[in-house]
Each structure stands twice: as C-alpha cells, then as structure tokens.
Amino acid sequence: MDTIQGKQENENGLNLHFIQSKKYKTINIVAKLRAPLEKDTITKRALLPYILKQGTKNYPSRSEFQLKLDDLYGAVLSVDGGKKGENHIITVRLEFANEKFIPQESSIIDDAISLFHEVLFQPNVKENGFDESIFKREKDTLKQKINAIQDDKMSYANMRLIDEMCENEPYQLHVHGYEEDLNKMTNENLYDYYKNMIQQDDMDIYVLGDFDEKTIKEKITSEMKRDQSNSIQYNASKAKKSAGESKEIIEKQNVQQAKLHIGYRTNIVFQDEDYFALQVFNGLFGGFPSSKLFINVREKNSLAYYASSRVESHKGLLFVFSGIAPEDFEKARDIIRVQVTAMKDGEFSEDELTETKDQIVNQFKETMDHPQGLIEMMYQQVVGNKKLTPNQLVEGIRNVTKEDVIQAASKIEEDTVYLLTSEGGSKDE
Amino acid sequence: MNKQTYKNINETIYSEKLANGLTVFLLPKPEMAKAYGIFSTNYGSIDQTFVPIGESEEINVPEGVAHFLEHKLFEKKDRDVFADFGKQGASPNAYTSFTKTAYLFSATTNIEQNVETLIDFVQEPYFSEQSVEKEKGIISQEIKMYDDQPDWQSFMGTIKSMFKNHPVKIDIAGTVESITSITKDDLYTCYHTFYHPENMSLFVAGNFDPETMMDMITSNQQKKSFKEMEELKRNFPKEPEDVAMKENKITMPVSIPKCTIGIKESSVELSKEAFLRKDLLGSMVISHFFSTGGEFYQELYKSNLIDDSFYFETNLEKNFGYSMIGSNTDNPDEFSKKVMEQLLSTNDIQLTEEVFSRMKKKKIGQLLRSMNSLEFIANKYTSYHSMGINLFEIIPEIQKLTVDDVNSFIKSWISENRLAVCTISAQ
C-alpha cells in the first residue's frame, strides 16, 4: 500500500506530487492554492474560481474553451474554493481520458497539461483586469450563490451554527464570501489580488494516473514557473478555543422539518497524537449507521431520518446533524446529550470498538480507490503538516484503545446548540 | 460461468444465470482495494398495480410501498443488518428509484462473507406490525426533509407536469398520508411478487476471486427454495404523447425562483437497437446545445437568465422517458420562453461532420471517466443488461454513429405538445 504515497519534490516554487496508479481510465491533474482565511480576501477568493473557469488567454470565450475541452475527449475542468481549518484552498482540477484507452490518440496528456497551465497562469486578461463582461457576469453568479444557501436548509443550518459558534474566529468566514464586499470590489482589485495569489499562495500540484513521469515532469516544469520568494508562514498553533458555557440558538423559518445541529470543541487536531482516537470516537458516536446517534435517535426513538456526526480535522470541531419534527427538539437534544455522556463514560464494548476501527480502515481504503479522494487525503497531510504513509494511518487507527477513546471523549465540549425550526412555536403540530 | 474480455477497455466480466433465475455478474478488479456488491430487483415506485404471485386478481398498493419495503428489509427479528455489515467492516446502503430497488455494500475485507450477508438479508424478510409502525416516524421525516428541498420539489413538479397517468408521477417515498396505511401484509405481498430471483440481479465488482465467489453464490442459492415464477403482470395506464399540464406553478419559500423545462418522451417500448440509439443521441444532443460551451447555454448565460445552478439531464426507461433543463433564475418567465424557443428551433438544425465527431469524443471520454467508478459500472451494466444492451460494447457503438443519425434524431427530438414548464417561487 505504501507505493501510492508517490513522489514529492519542490520545483519552480511548486510542490509537485506524482502518483502512479493503474486503477483509473483517466488522468487527474490537480492544483491546490492555499492562503490563510481572512475577511479581506475571502470574497475575492470565492469569485476567482468562477472567473478562471470562463476561459483563458488563448481560449477567451467560454464556448471556445469548452470546445477545446470537448476535443480532449470531454476533459472536465473544475475550479472551486473551500475551507480547511483556518485556511482557504482553491482547487483547480482537470480530469481527462487516458490516451492508452483510445486507439490512435497520443497527444491528450500534452495538450491537457498546456491547457491546465493556461487556466492557472494565463487567464483572459484585458489591460489591468479580467474581461469586464465576465467580471460583471460572474459577480452576479456569486451573488446568487450567496443568496441560494437560504434554500438548502441543511447547509444553511450548518453555516448558521458556525456563525454563532465561531464568532470572531476566522473559521466563521463564509466560503462564498459576502455580498457587501462583492459590491465594493473592482475588476482591478481582483486582478491585483490574483497576481499576488498566483505567486504567493502555497501551491501543490498532483498528477494521478498511469503516465510517464519523466515526460510529464519536464512538461510541467518547463511551463509552470513561479518565484515564491517569501513563503507564507502559517500559524501552526491549534485554532482552539475553549467552549465555555454552551449556548442555545433557535431560529424560525417557514420549514416542514426542523434541523438540529450541535457544535462541539474537540480540542484535538490532525497533528495531535490523539487524532486517531478522535476518529474512532466519531465512528462509535455518529459516523456510521451502527453508531450511537443513528441507533438511538433514529432506530430506537423514530425521531429522525438522519442523525450523524462529522469531525473537522484542522480547527478541532465536531458537528452533529439531524432533521426532526419541530416538537421533538428537547427530546432529540437530550438523547444526543445522553450519547455524548455515554461515550465519556466508556459505554461501548471492545467488540464495538474493533468493528468501528474496521469500518474506519475500510472507509480509508475505499477513499484511496477514488482519484479525488486519494488526492484530498494526501493534501490533508500538507495542511495538517504531518506526513503519514497509508500503513501508518491504518496502524494509527488499529492501535487506538478503549482508554484512548475515553480520554479523547473527555476533551470534547458542547459549544452551541442550533435549531432551525418552523414558525409559530415548536409545539405547532 | 461465462467469461468475456474487453481488451480495449481492459475489463473482464463473468456472468451466469442460476437455476432459480438469478442473474449474477462478477467483475474482478484486483488493482482496487475495495469491492462493491449490488443486489437489485426490477421493482420501483412505478410498480403500483400488478397481479401478486400465485393470485389472479390485479391489486393496487399504497404509494411509497417499494421504498418502505427497502427500509424494512434491514430490520430482522433479533437484529439490525447495519450491525451485521458493520461487524464485517462493510458499509451497506440501499435506494429505491422509479424502476428499481437496490441493496448494496462496499468493503475492503471479508468480501465473500459480505456478499453472502447481502444476499441473505434481502432474501430473508421479517416484517412485524410493531416495526412497520415504528418506521412510519422515520420515513415521515425523510418525506418532510424532501418537502423542504426546492430542488427535489422542482424535479417532481416537472415530472408531474409531464405525466398524466403514468405512476412515475407518484413520489418515490409516497406521502405522509399514504404511508400511514401501509401494513406488514402489503410488504409481504410486494416482496414475494417482486423479489423472486428471476426478477433480480447481483453484480459484484472489485478485488476478489471470481471462481470462489460464483461457487459461494451458487451454493447459497441452491439451499433456498422459491415459488415457481409465472410471468410478472404489471399494469401501466395508457399515457398520452402530450404533457399533462403545460405549466406547473409551485409556491414555497425560496430566495430565488427555480424554473425547469421538461421534455416528455414517448411511452412506446423500443427495440434494443432503437433504445440504445435514442439513449446515446438524446444525451449527446442535449449536452451539445446546453453544456457550458453550447450555443443555447451561451445565449442564456449572456442574457443573465441562469446561474451556476443550471443543469440538464435525460433519463430513458423502458416505458417512459424525459429530459429536463433547469436553473435558478430571477426571471422564470423569460427563461422558460427562451428555452422553449431554443428547443423548437432545433427542428431545422443540421450538425456538421466536424461537430458531431467532437460530440462523439466527448461522450467516449465521459464514459471512460465514469468507468473509474465500480458503482457506475455495476449500476449501468445491470440496467443496460435488462434492456439487452452491453455496457462494455458501447464505445464502438458510439464510434459507429453517423452525422445522418444525429440529424435525423434532431429532426424529431422536440415537439411543442411534449414540452412542459415547472416554476417554483415564493409567491
């Protein structure tokens, strides 16, 4: 399993990762651009992906650009932004058919890398800014995106929970940015920021698939060059904050189903020794259909269709999600609290512990079968600043003891209970 | 056991139809860590009216029963199946669609054992009145969750605008009212009729040995006995060509309106060649016009009528089919008017050789990309197989398509009587 770790080297201000695999019929090339989460830059970073995917210098219109992708046997480009702990990451991904599976084709890889390079380094620029019509149009696209979160109640509840829980912390920042900042932004501002970002962000590049490494490396390093002179210093200290008194926030909207989301401080991040124990805790508590939350909230009490939990690895958070009838709020909240206490009291068997560890290892191996999953997992280690081979990861999980889980559980503090519920009181049905 | 190798895409598949009627496919992929197994029946939410096995009178069952049954198969007298899989390091799941109910797992260890657990839990139903009652609370919350999702409401709203009689217009999970009336007897009736091995298939893909796997499956099936399977009699009402309603306006709290145009396909069953051609060309043509590089997409984008929620999809089944084109939009009336115009203008469009050759490349690349996923292969292989089509022979079929094929397809692709609009807005 160690072979998939691949090679890593730093060239031209790029961290290059080559991963050879015969599992796939495609080749993936992915760039990850990383900068600290900041209010001043988040809206620009949210808008840039929309602009970059509209076209390049040589393929300035979206249709010319798309025709080029179609010619490369329907290559797929995606560009998006996301949070990992208190970092903002822009991901540019190009996936294209491996020419080995298409008779009489031998230039797809070469063309694809050139195109990938253009998307990043040669956008469609006019004098001191991006194409003005694209800039305006994509501002509208992002504005609608910011507003549309209202219509996805699960995401909305999640965002609101983090708003309340992480007030005044960078992690609170909304991944799509802010409408008022978008309105103030000029094309020039954005282009200046882009130029800065493309040189200054930490940039990791992954190539995954069945390809000739030497040729690809030469191709990439001859085209992509940056002078990353002053590398950003990341605040490696844990973005922890003790929970203090738990708060309860209730918000009302015209909804059929209430969303009960609870946020906790785990006080454990990816780099920590007890990170593995936290993963096992989450598996027992709410990560699987065999976990306490699913069994107790759903199966035993019939209160919800979904009830689960998820760990945020870089900031040290844990979230519980469930969709319930508005009148069941207190009951569901109390049942969830009982499960946390049960975990702290070690109310789980050795068998359950072993099964949970097996499930986590299984999930991890499955992730490694998936091209995007594999790259995300490797990048997690870059952000978390801790290198682990696949075997070390598996060992780490396997070695977790019941005591370790109880110890990790003891660090977990409830921070905020957030309820999005129907208008007219919680007893209206 | 039949073995078939497809050199150009580097896949080998083993298949067998067992004595009891079950169709088994095995796709060994030793380079993968995981295996994926899916056990599915040709039974979905549209199978509302049928003659139960061993009887002669046709019955109607409550809406949402196929989905309810899917939930209840996981619960046994003394245990929960999730826990069984959990003990074996696997993660199970299931889904119900219009035409199919499928049970599945993925795992990286104990593959054979997990396949056996999959078959056994689906083939050993246990329904009690008490557990049926308990499930009603859970499924009610599932339905309420969908009630709050504008995307789902928009999808079903478009389906309802297109179909007048066909049960595809029924919500897959049913309604809170319809599921209240479901009893354990309903579940057993549907179960015995539709979960007969003759009506089911098993597909396992991933890291395992095909010989020992097939032996295990065969001997497992030999130990079980099933009633003799007569011909399954399902009844579908006659569906007109025309859409049920030209316009379906739905009000729910949304911050931006949603608008979808539905293109209804004929309900007439096709030969397998005609089906495949329609399936391929249908998806290639809609993608040609409406993907981000397409002419129609560009017009909509430039007129500010769409945002990045814009999507299109096509779904062709044996006795119904549809395509949808939709987006969040501030101006649903303009959007729908424009898309209708665009669609109606296609009757006179002729594509060139060059354009069609690029469309074929794109389709082939898409297919190869999808084949990275064991889940895609297993699902698509099974559903194509039930139409008599082989997924692994599709690339040459795409290459064979000619510009005349696509142009004659486009000529009859759209007619006004088969177009419907569904709008979701706050007022």
Helix (H, G, I), strand (E, B) or coil at B240: coil
CA distance B86 to B107: 10
Domain of A306, in residue numbers: 247-422
pLDDT score of A3:
47
A12: closest CA of chain B, how far (Å):
31
Residues 221-240 of B with CB under 8 A from A: none
Q: Give yes or no: residues A406 and A304 share one domain.
A: yes
The residues near B382 (Cβ < 8 Å, ≥ 6 apart) are B25, B38, B40, B201, B203
Q: Do A97 and B138 touch (CB under 8 A)?
A: no
Please give the backbone phi and psi of residue B111, each rounded to the nearest 5 degrees, phi first: -60, -50
Nearest to A92 by CA among A106, A82, A105: A82
CB A78 within 8 A of CB A29: no
Number of domains in chain A: 2
Q: Give yes or no: residues A327 and A189 share one domain.
A: no
Q: Would you say residue A427 lies in a domain?
A: no
For residue A31, what are the β-bridge partners? A92, A205
What's the CATH class of domain B2-222? alpha beta
The residues near B63 (Cβ < 8 Å, ≥ 6 apart) are B45, B48, B170, B171, B174, B175, B178, B179
Q: Give yes or no: residues A133 and A252 share one domain.
A: no
Residue A1 has pLDDT above 80, yes or no: no
Of B32, B80, B365, the CB nearest to A23: B32
Domains B2-222 and B247-425 agree in fold: yes
A338: closest CA of chain B, how far (Å):
20
CB A124 within 8 A of CB A60: yes
Residue type, B56: S
CB B114 within 8 A of CB B88: yes
Q: Give yes or no: residues A208 and A307 share one domain.
A: no
Q: Do A140 and B369 touch (CB under 8 A)?
A: no
Q: How confident is the model at residue A118 (pLDDT cuts 50, 70, 90)?
A: very high
CB A322 within 8 A of CB A334: no
pLDDT score of A7:
65
Extents of the domains making up chain B:
2-222, 247-425
pLDDT score of A4:
53
Residues of B in contact with A145 (CB under 8 A): 307-308
Q: What is the CATH number of the domain that holds A125?
A: 3.30.830.10
pLDDT score of A5:
53
Q: Would you say residue A189 lies in a domain?
A: yes
Residues of B in contact with A257 (CB under 8 A): 141, 144-145, 147-148
CB B418 within 8 A of CB B241: yes
Nearest to A94 by CA among A112, A82, A71, A73: A112
pLDDT score of B123:
97
Residues of A in contact with B140 (CB under 8 A): 325
Q: Give yes or no: residues A327 and A258 share one domain.
A: yes
List pLDDT tens digits, range A311-370: 999 999 999 999 999 999 999 999 999 999 999 999 999 999 999 999 999 999 999 999
**Structure token digits, residue B322:** 């549809």
Of A22, A302, A363, the CB nearest to B138: A302
pLDDT score of A99:
87
Q: Give yes or no: residues A141 and A260 share one domain.
A: no
Q: How confident is the model at residue A101 (pLDDT cuts 50, 70, 90)?
A: confident
Q: Give yes or no: residues A52 and A189 share one domain.
A: yes
Of A98, A257, A365, the CB nearest to B33: A365
Q: Would you say residue A332 lies in a domain?
A: yes
Q: Would you say residue A240 lies in a domain?
A: no
Question: Is B228 a known active-site residue?
Answer: no
The low-confidence residues of chain B, meaning pLDDT below 50, are none
E strands, B187-239, in order: 200-206
- The catalytic position among B70, B135, B239, B265 is B70
The residues near B319 (Cβ < 8 Å, ≥ 6 apart) are B166, B236, B267, B269
Residue A243 has pLDDT above 70, yes or no: no
Please give the backbone phi and psi of residue B103, each rounded to the nearest 5 degrees, phi first: -120, 135
Percent of chain A with pLDDT over 90: 83
**Architecture of the domain spanning B247-425:** 2-Layer Sandwich (3.30)
B233: closest CA of chain A, how far (Å):
33
pLDDT score of A425:
53
Q: Give yes or no: residues A43 and A170 share one domain.
A: yes
* Sequence-ordered alpha helix ranges (H) in A99-169: 108-121, 132-148, 153-165
Q: Would you say residue A239 lies in a domain?
A: no
Residues of B in contact with A255 (CB under 8 A): 148, 253
Nearest residue of A to residue B365, measured between CA atoms:
A73
Q: Would you say residue A215 lies in a domain?
A: yes
DSSP state of B43: -
ipTM over cut 0.85: no
Q: How confident is the model at residue A228 (pLDDT cuts 50, 70, 90)?
A: low
Helix (H, G, I), strand (E, B) or coil at B390: coil
Q: Give yes or no: residues A358 and A301 share one domain.
A: yes
- B89 in contact with chain A, both atoms CB, cutoff 8 A: yes
Residues 166-185 of B with CB under 8 A from A: none
Q: Give yes or no: residues A150 and A267 share one domain.
A: no
Q: Give yes or no: residues A213 and A344 share one domain.
A: no
Q: Give yes or no: residues A290 and A191 share one domain.
A: no
- ∠ CA A83-A88-A93, nearest 5°, is 85
Nearest to B341 by CA among B303, B376, B309: B303
Nearest to A36 by CA among A176, A195, A231: A231
Q: Would you say residue A107 lies in a domain?
A: yes
Average pLDDT of chain A, as a whole number: 91
Residue A218 has pLDDT above 80, yes or no: yes
Q: Do A50 and B308 touch (CB under 8 A)?
A: yes
Q: Do A73 and B365 touch (CB under 8 A)?
A: yes
Q: Would you say residue A92 lies in a domain?
A: yes
Nearest residue of A to residue B300, measured between CA atoms:
A137
